[in-house]
Structure 1
Amino acid sequence: MRASAFLYPWDVNGDPGAGDRMAALGVRDATLASAYHSTRALTPRHPRHRIVTARHAAVLYPTDARWTGRALRPYPAGDWAPGDAFGEAAEALAAAGLEVHTWVVLAHNSRLGEEHPGTSVVNAYGDRYPWAPCIAQPGTRAYLVDLAAEAAVRPGAHGTELESLGWYGLAHLHAHDKTGGVGLGDAGQYLMSLCFCASCRAGYGAQGLDAGELAAAVRAALEPVWRGAPSGGGWAGVERLLGETEAAATRAWRDETARTLQEAAVAAVRAAAPDGFRVLLHADPVSYHCGANAGVDPAHILSVADGVVVPCTGGTGLLRPFAGQGRERSVLAANFTVVSAMGGSPGTLERDAREAAESGATELRLYHAGLASDEDLAAVRGALAAL
């Protein structure tokens, strides 16, 4: 199976051996970040540093004139990825024989929410989520579509993987998170991720809901959960808490909003890209789910994009709803964490990859070659050789 390893530019730049080391893993491709959220990252093999602190969401290349005069625009990186950090790393990886694809994080940007608070998701209690731009707002949608096109189609890239191209909600892994004291479950997470900004209030109205009454219903439904009652699992849990009619109306609004954004972003990337450029989405087959792996309808998204990247570290079950839904050449990439200290299991990668293939996977993604220990990478190398 064709495999690609995720990397940041700072894993490569300043390390003359990085490209050859990645190629020696047995991967054919490198999925290299070109637009990324804030993070603090380990670089265990770099000759000049061990910790990189990316203080805010940024693009890792120089932007062009399309952003002139616009309030919402991407932020340049600081000293963690100066200049055309993506381009420098891409050249080094290509010189080692790897095919480079861009990795673009979209609707996940805390600095945008801090500096433009009106762009953020607002929950039923009036709390803003600065890390989560509301994808229903026209200005935010225009920003995300243009960012997708610019960050995806970088010189030397053969394709792209678009992350967070959909709703982001409560779950975030924010700095020093203290939100796990109450088990919200799947249904509670959904209710706490519903947005009540002006655009979403109007959207609920178009679905026949009064936004004020809906917010009150969400708060009432969550009250027993705050006291420790289980929220229930799956969509049935949402319906139980909120009511079938109200739940269906919120999902109709949110599903349509995400679908149309995904269509627009993919179309913008295709318009800017050369022939043969592959466009994949990091995706979850449950359309109401929020986060980096955007909730999608499998048949729809595979009619729009060239494929999907699906989280499989906890098992390969999320692959099956995508299998058989796409075109003959649709990519179904199984994404495995290969960093032991982050919950990955590189020692079982060979077995896991074979199970993924049985569930319909056509390719592998390995998260994350820059973060993994030497021992983890040795296990990856052995697994890929066996495959």
Structure 2
Amino acid sequence: MKASAFVYPWDVNGDPEAPARIAALGVHQVTLASAYHSTRALTPRHPRHRIVTAEHAAVLYPADARWEGRTLRPHPAGDWAPGDAYGEAARALAGAGLEVHTWVVLAHNSRLGAEHPDTSVVNAYGDRYPWAPCIAQPATRAYLVDLAAEAAVRPGAAGTELESLGWYGLQHLHAHDKTGGVALGDAGQYLMSLCFCPVCREGYGARGQDADELAAAVRTALEPLWRGAPDDGGWAAVQKLLGEGPAAATRAWRDDTARTLQEAAVAAVRAAAPEGFQVLLHADPVTYHVGANPGVDPAHILSVADGVVVPCAGGPGLLTPFAEQRRRNAVIAANLTVVSGMGGSPGTLAADAARARERGATELRLYHAGLASDGDLEAVRKGLSAL
């Protein structure tokens, strides 16, 4: 199975041994960040630093003239990835014989929410989520589509992986996160992720829902969960808490909004890319799920993109709905965490890959070559050699 490892530019730039070390793992490809959110990252082998603090969401290359005069625009990185950090790393990795694909994070941007609060998701209580742009707003959609095209199609890249191309919600490791006091399952997360910005309020209205009444219904539905009632999870629980009609209306609005954004972004990337450029989306097969792997309809997304990257940290089950589409030549990549300190199991990589293949995976994605310890990387090397 073809395998690709995720990498940040700061894992490579300034470390002349990094490209050969990554190639020696046995991967065929790297998925290299070109637009990324704020983070604090460990670099356990770098000769100059051990911790990189990316202070805000940024493009890791020089943005072009398309952004001149626009209110919503990407920001350059600071000293954690100066200049064309992506390009420098990409050239070094290609020099080691690795195929380079871009890794583009889209609707996850705390700086955008801080500078332009009106762009953020607003929950039923009126709280804004500054890390989560509302993907229904026309200006935000235009920004995301143009960012996808620019950040995906970098010189020498053979393809891209678009992350967070859909709804983001409550669940997010934001600064020192203190939101785990009440255990929200799928239903609670969905209700707390519903947006009530002016555009979304109009969207609900077009589907027969009064936005004020709907927001009140969401707050009422959540009240038992705040008091400690169990969240049964799943769509049936959302319907039970909110009512079948309102639940269906919210999902119809959100599904259509995400689907049309995904279509527009993929089309923009294809228009900017050379022939044969591969476009994948990080995705979950349950359409109402939110986050870095937003929910999609498997049949639809495989008719739009060349394939998907599917989270498999909890097992390979999410692969099946994509594999069942039996779409010829579609990439169904199983994303496996190989950093033991982050809950990964690099020692069981070969077995995990075999289970993923049984569920329809055609490729592997390994998270993350820069964050992993030496022991983790050795386990990856052994696991890939056993495949």
Equivalents in 2 of 1:261, 1:326: separation in Å?
Answer: 24
Partner of 2:364: 364
Partner of 2:232: 232
Q: String of CA shifts for 1:220-265, please: whole Å, max 9, x gaps.
A: 1111111101122100010010001110010000000000000000
The equivalences for 1:38-77 within 5 A come to 38-77=38-77
Equivalents in 1 of 2:160, 2:326: separation in Å?
Answer: 18
In the TM superposition, residue 327 of structure 1 has moved relative to its aligned partner by: 2.9
In the TM superposition, residue 190 of structure 1 has moved relative to its aligned partner by: 0.3
Equivalents in 1 of 2:49, 2:187: separation in Å?
Answer: 42
* Count of matched residue pairs: 387
Query: Structure 2 unaligned runs (5+)?
Result: none
Equivalents in 2 of 1:19, 1:178: separation in Å?
Answer: 38
Whichever residue aligns with residue 7 of structure 2, its letter is L
Please say if residues 231 and 241 of structure 1, whose CA atoms lie closer than 8 Å, have aligned partners that are also in contact. no
Partner of 1:385: 385
The answer as to 2:131 corresponding to 1:131 is yes
Q: String of CA shifts for 1:258-303, please: whole Å, max 9, x gaps.
A: 0000000000000000000000000000000000001000000000
Equivalents in 2 of 1:111, 1:363: separation in Å?
Answer: 34
Partner of 1:344: 344
- Using structure 2 for the length normalisation, give the TM-score: 1.00
In the TM superposition, residue 325 of structure 1 has moved relative to its aligned partner by: 1.4
Please say if residues 303 and 326 of structure 1, whose CA atoms lie closer than 8 Å, have aligned partners that are also in contact. no
Equivalents in 2 of 1:213, 1:361: separation in Å?
Answer: 44
Partner of 1:332: 332
- Give the aligned CA root-mean-square deviation in angstroms: 0.5
In the TM superposition, residue 326 of structure 1 has moved relative to its aligned partner by: 5.2
272 and 310 in structure 1: CA distance in 2 versus 1, 3 angstrom threshold: same
Equivalents in 2 of 1:27, 1:73: separation in Å?
Answer: 34
Equivalents in 1 of 2:184, 2:216: separation in Å?
Answer: 18
Equivalents in 2 of 1:212, 1:235: separation in Å?
Answer: 22
Equivalents in 2 of 1:325, 1:208: separation in Å?
Answer: 33
Partner of 1:313: 313
Please say if residues 37 and 57 of structure 1, whose CA atoms lie closer than 8 Å, have aligned partners that are also in contact. yes
Local SS of the residue matching 2:283: strand
Equivalents in 2 of 1:30, 1:309: separation in Å?
Answer: 14
Please say if residues 5 and 27 of structure 1, whose CA atoms lie closer than 8 Å, have aligned partners that are also in contact. yes
Partner of 1:280: 280
Whichever residue aligns with residue 243 of structure 2, its letter is G
Equivalents in 2 of 1:166, 1:376: separation in Å?
Answer: 32
Equivalents in 2 of 1:39, 1:319: separation in Å?
Answer: 28
Equivalents in 2 of 1:140, 1:381: separation in Å?
Answer: 41
Identity of aligned residues (%): 83
Local SS of the residue matching 2:121: strand
Local SS of the residue matching 2:315: coil
Partner of 2:206: 206
Whichever residue aligns with residue 290 of structure 1, its letter is V
Whichever residue aligns with residue 320 of structure 1, its letter is T
Whichever residue aligns with residue 208 of structure 2, its letter is G
Query: Structure 1 unaligned runs (5+)?
Result: none
Equivalents in 1 of 2:269, 2:325: separation in Å?
Answer: 22
- Using structure 1 for the length normalisation, give the TM-score: 1.00
Please say if residues 160 and 278 of structure 1, whose CA atoms lie closer than 8 Å, have aligned partners that are also in contact. yes
The equivalences for 1:125-204 within 5 A come to 125-204=125-204
Higher alpha-carbon deviation: 222-231 or 334-343: 222-231
Please say if residues 53 and 80 of structure 1, whose CA atoms lie closer than 8 Å, have aligned partners that are also in contact. yes
Equivalents in 2 of 1:246, 1:231: separation in Å?
Answer: 19
In the TM superposition, residue 54 of structure 1 has moved relative to its aligned partner by: 0.1
Local SS of the residue matching 2:336: strand
324 and 224 in structure 1: CA distance in 2 versus 1, 3 angstrom threshold: closer
Equivalents in 1 of 2:205, 2:318: separation in Å?
Answer: 33
72 and 326 in structure 1: CA distance in 2 versus 1, 3 angstrom threshold: farther
Partner of 1:243: 243
